[in-house]
Amino acid sequence: MKIMKDNEMALVKEILAKLGASKEDQELVAEATLDADLKGFTSHGLGRFPQYLTSIKANTINLKDNITIEKETPAMALINGNCGFGQAVSYKAMQIAIKKAKEVGIACVGVHNSNHFGVTGFYSDLALRENCIGIVIANTDPAIAPLGGKEALIGTNPIALGIPSDSYITVDMATSITARGKIIESKRKGLDLPDGWALDKDGNPTNDPEAALEGSILPFGGFKGYALSLLIEILTGPLVQAGYGRGVTGTASPDKDCTKGDLYIVIDPSKFGDFDEFKANTEDFISQVRETGESVAIPGDLEVKRIAEAEANGVAIDENLYNQLKGICDKLDIDIDSYVEE
């Protein structure tokens, strides 16, 4: 079973419209959901979408769609998302960061009191479209145990970084060995986890997704991933007046208030010198990288390939996800079968 690009956008918007979301929120949530699925991050696309509906029902997502700028200078801002859709809050935060970077060269915008926003790279891509470098980091519900410890205390804490050029140069990754959403998706599909992904609550290696969710996910790269995740926790927790450590809820527990934080950093390369020269030198370097071997890829190549395939063939929907979405649609008097196809 699958759903085509335009139908996915239309389905998400119709569901949100029935629930009372604004047209702007409908559009932004649908765009971010589709972006995740097209890039192959299906754990953060339609597979994650039912979580947002749980949050709406629990009143942990505010449908009134408002943000408050609590602190501001020419190069920074601190935003209170007022429990709005994470996608809408994050879009607005990145737009503010882009505008400031265009004016002063570099900008940093912190966010607290928001919600799960989908894939991190959707927001760094916004900077690329304005010929800027985009960096986005966030924290999440605890998932990683400190090295040598058993208790999950640090989030999977994603980072996305994009460089504007003719090539699509971007990385979007969790600082855990895999995103928590991938484990949730494996549980939904009844799949075992690969070796080396997770520990159970007693600190023992496990291939069981449920045991992993009760235990902890390993950081990527051993101490290096652990250190990066820990530092992101500080930059998106204490720095932006958001939750941290045991105080982070809402990204994996949608019926609880979301207390995570985000940080959006934008750099305008044109403030360092001629932008076209920067882009030409970047492309020259990318060419050098590709020349080192026939199978060499750069960060972003896989997403470009996946997007082309998904736009042509649609996004796959497993039986359990279809049943989840059908249950939602039936309650809202929406015919899901008019959107999906075999």
Instruction: Name the residue ranges covered by the structural domains of the chain.
Output: 1-47+302-342, 69-176+219-299
CB atoms within 10 A of CB 83: 21
Tell which residue, 334, 329, 236, 338, has the closest CA to residue 49: 329
The strands making up 340-341's β-sheet, listed across from edge to edge, are 315-316, 2-3, 340-341
- Asked: is 69-176+219-299 a CATH 3.30.1370.60 domain? The reply is yes
The fold of the 1-47+302-342 domain, in CATH, is: Hypothetical Oxidoreductase Yiak; Chain: A, domain 1 (1.10.1530)
Q: Is the pTM for the entire model greater than 0.85?
A: yes
**pLDDT at position 65, please?**
67
Burial class of residue 196 (count of CB atoms within 10 Å of its CB; 0-12, 13-18, 19+): exposed
Q: Are 138 and 240 in contact (CB under 8 A)?
A: no
> Which parts of the chain sit beneath pLDDT 50?
none
Q: Are 157 and 125 in contact (CB under 8 A)?
A: no
What value, to the nearest 5°, has the Cα angle with vertex 83 and ends 79 and 89? 50
